[in-house]
Amino acid sequence: MKKMISYYDTTLRDGTQAEGVSFSLEDKLRITEILDKMGIHYIEGGWPGSNPKDIEYFKNASRLKLKNAKVSAFGSTRYHKNKPENDPNIQALIDAKVPVSCIFGKTWDFHVEEALKVSLETNLDMIHSSVKYLKSKGKEVVYDAEHFFDGYKSNPSYSLKTLQAALDGGADNISLCDTNGGTLPHEIEKIIQTVKKQFTNIPLGIHAHNDSEMAVANSIAAVQQGVIMVHGTINGIGERCGNANLCSIIPNIEVKMGIRSLSPQQLKMLFEVSRFVSELANLTHNHRLPFIGDSAFAHKGGIHVSAVQKDPHTYEHIDPKLVGNRRRVLVSELSGKSNILFKAEELGVDLKDAEHLPKKVVQEIKRLENEGFEFEGAEGSFELLIKKASGEYKPLFNLKNYRLIIERQTNGAMVSEATIKLEVNGKEIHSVAEGNGPVNALDNALRKALKSVYPEIKKVFLCDYKVRVLGSKKGTSARVRVLIESKADGKIWGTVGASENIIEASWQALVDSIEYFIIKTFKKKKKK
C-alpha cells in the first residue's frame, strides 16, 4: 500500500501567535482558499472560543467550497470541574460546524501537577472524556499531545498513558508535540520507535516547534519513523522561534523522499503561497528560505555560474521549477564573464558577438561596487550599464542642474520644493514641484519636466525605497546606497544609486528607473 502523508497547516492559529503577525477575517478566508487549492489536507482556522474574529471565521469557513482541505477547530480538553457536554471550550468546537476538532491535552506530569493543579488520574479522564464526547458528535478528532517529548523524558510511563487515554476515546490521530522545541532528531526517532512498539498501528502525527532550529529536521525524522500527519505553518511563522516550516517539509517529503501526496501542479504553487502569506501577514519575505526564497537558487560566484550553465545539478539540489521557483544569476564584484552573459540573455540583451564587452562590463561593475553600488537587486541599472558599455545607450535627457529647498514652517509642517533644468531633444525644460520630502519633490519635478515628451511615465510609481549606510564609522558623512523599486504595467524593477549625498544617490536611482521604463516602452512599440 502506497504511503500518504497528510499536511496539517496551522498558519491561521499557531502562525498568528508570532510576534508582529495578525490576519484580518478576510485574510484568513483567502489563505484558507489558497491552501486548499495547493492541496493541503487540514487547515486549522483558529480557536473558536478565544476571540470574536475566530468565531466569525468558522461561521464563514463552513460556507467555503473547499475541494481538498478539511477545516479544523482548535481547543483544549475539558476543564477539570466540567463535564464535556457542559464545557464552554468543548461546546465551541462543536458550534464551529467544521468536520475536524484538534484538542490538546497535557502529557507531561510536571504540567499536570504544576500548571493544571490536578491529579495525574484526573488528567487522563479529561483527555479520554473530551475525545469521546467529540467523537460522539461526529467529529474527526486530532489529539495534540502537548509537551509529549519532554513528558516522555520526565515520566515515560505516564506520557504513554495519556496517549492510551486519547486512543481509548477514539482519537483519529495522535500528534506528538515538541512544544518547547528543544528535542533533537535522534531523540524524536528513538521515542517514536518506543511509542510504536507500545501501540500497534497507532495513527501518529508530529507537531514541532523551532526553538533549536530543528523543527523541519524533527518532522522529517518523524516521517521516517512512520508518522502520517505533519503539522506546520507556511514560512515557519509561529510563537517564539516559529513552527516547522511546511515550505521546507513538503518538498523534502515530496521530492527527496518520493512520498507523493500533492500533484506536481499543487507542488509548484509553493512559491506563490509562501509569498501570498508573507504579503497578508505584512512581513518582508525572507529571501534566504530554502526552496522558496529568492536566493534559494541564486548564483553569484563566476565559477558557480559557469558550472550551472553546463549542468544545473552542479550547484542545485533540485530543479527550482518543481516548487514554482526559478534560477537567478547575480551580478556583483564576484561576477565573471558567465554571470554577465547569463544575465544579459535573461534580460534579452545579445552579447554573444561582443567578444570583449562582458569583460568590460565586469570591470565596470567592480569599479562601481567599490564606490558603493550594488546590482543584485537593481536589474534596471544593470541593463542600462550594459547598454552604456556597448555604446547602445543614448541619454533621453541631460541634467543641467537641480536645486532643493526644505522649509520647516512655524506650524511644524515640512515642505520640500525641487527645481530642475533639463535638456531634452535640444530643448531646455524648467520645472518646479513640491513633495512631502526632498526625494518625492525631485521625483515630482522630474516627471513634470518629462511628461510632455514621454507621457508614458505617468504609469510608473515608486513602490519601495531603501537606504543603506556604507562605512558607518564616518557617521553622517558616510556614503549611502539607495535602492528604488518601481512598478508599471504589473512589472517591478530595481535601480540603484550611491553617493555621500543621499539626495544625489536618490537622483541616480530615480533617473535610472525612469530611463529604464521609457527605453523598455519604446522597444515594445517598435516590435508592434
Q: Give residues with Cβ within 8 angstroms of 372, minimum separation 6.
A: 470, 479, 480, 481, 498, 499
CA distance 168 to 132: 8
Assigned domain for 299 exists: no
Residue 1, pLDDT > 50, answer: no
| Mean pLDDT along residues 282-303 | 85
pLDDT for 76 equals 96
Assigned domain for 288 exists: no
Beta strand 229-232 with 6-9 is parallel
Residue 245 is given by DSSP the state B
pLDDT for 426 equals 86
| Mean pLDDT along residues 364-381 | 78
- In this structure, of 18-27, 252-261, 279-288, 412-421, the range with the lowest mean pLDDT score is 279-288
Residue 46, pLDDT > 70, answer: yes
170 and 202 both lie in a single domain: yes
402 and 383 both lie in a single domain: no
274 and 411 both lie in a single domain: no
Q: Please, what sign has the CA dihedral across residues 418, 419, 423, 427?
A: positive
Helices then strands, counting H and E runs in the chain, come out as: 18, 16
Assigned domain for 337 exists: no
CA distance between the termini of the chain: 57
Residue 164, pLDDT > 50, answer: yes
| pLDDT over 70, % of the chain | 92
3-state secondary structure 237-278: CCCCCCECEHHHHHHHHHHHCCCCCCCHHHHCCHHHHHHHHH
CA distance 105 to 109: 11
Q: How many domains does the chain have?
A: 3
- The dihedrals phi and psi of 513, each to the nearest 5 degrees, come to -65, -45
Between 176 and 299, residue with greater pLDDT: 176
Cross-strand bridge partners of residue 404:
418
pLDDT for 475 equals 72
Residue 399, pLDDT > 70, answer: yes
- In this structure, of 50-59, 62-71, 385-394, 410-419, the range with the lowest mean pLDDT score is 385-394
Domain housing 417: 397-453
172 and 243 both lie in a single domain: yes
| Mean pLDDT along residues 349-354 | 60
182 and 207 both lie in a single domain: yes
| Mean pLDDT along residues 111-124 | 94
Assigned domain for 444 exists: yes
267 and 382 both lie in a single domain: no
Residue 158, pLDDT > 90, answer: yes
Assigned domain for 313 exists: no
Residue 344, pLDDT > 70, answer: no
- In this structure, of 67-76, 122-131, 303-312, the range with the lowest mean pLDDT score is 303-312
| Mean pLDDT along residues 15-28 | 93
Residue 370, pLDDT > 90, answer: no
- For residue 492, name the pLDDT band (cuts at 50, 70, 90): confident
pLDDT for 523 equals 62
- For residue 389, name the pLDDT band (cuts at 50, 70, 90): confident
| SS3 state at 96 | coil
Mind listing the pLDDT tens digit for each residue in 226-272?
999 999 999 999 999 999 999 999 999 999 999 999 999 999 999 99
Mind listing the pLDDT tens digit for each residue in 187-237?
999 999 999 999 988 999 999 999 999 999 999 999 999 999 999 999 999
231 and 371 both lie in a single domain: no
pLDDT for 356 equals 64
pLDDT for 279 equals 83
507 and 373 both lie in a single domain: yes
Assigned domain for 402 exists: yes
- The residue out of 408, 433, 453 marking a domain boundary is 453
Q: Give residues with Cβ within 8 angstroms of 340, minimum separation 6.
A: 331, 351, 358, 361, 362, 386
pLDDT for 137 equals 97
- For residue 338, name the pLDDT band (cuts at 50, 70, 90): low
In this structure, the number of other CB atoms found within 10 A of the CB of residue 422 comes to: 21
The CATH number of the domain holding residue 357 is 3.30.160.340
| Mean pLDDT along residues 116-143 | 97
Cross-strand bridge partners of residue 174:
143, 204
Cross-strand bridge partners of residue 243:
209
Residue 332, pLDDT > 60, answer: no
pLDDT for 280 equals 87
378 and 438 both lie in a single domain: no
- For residue 379, name the pLDDT band (cuts at 50, 70, 90): confident
Assigned domain for 166 exists: yes
- The residue out of 280, 295, 313 marking a domain boundary is 280
CA distance 291 to 325: 7
- The residue out of 435, 453, 471 marking a domain boundary is 453
Assigned domain for 467 exists: yes
401 and 523 both lie in a single domain: no
pLDDT for 330 equals 66
212 and 70 both lie in a single domain: yes
| Mean pLDDT along residues 125-144 | 98
Mind listing the pLDDT tens digit for each residue in 437-490?
999 999 999 999 999 899 989 999 888 888 888 876 667 778 898 989 888 887
The CATH number of the domain holding residue 28 is 3.20.20.70
CA distance 48 to 35: 20
pLDDT for 57 equals 95
- Give the pTM: 0.73
Dump the DSSP string for 195-215: HHHHSTT--EEEEEB-TTS-H
402 and 477 both lie in a single domain: no
| Mean pLDDT along residues 23-51 | 93
Max mean pLDDT among 314-318, 363-367, 387-391 falls in 314-318
| Mean pLDDT along residues 104-109 | 96
CA distance 182 to 71: 29
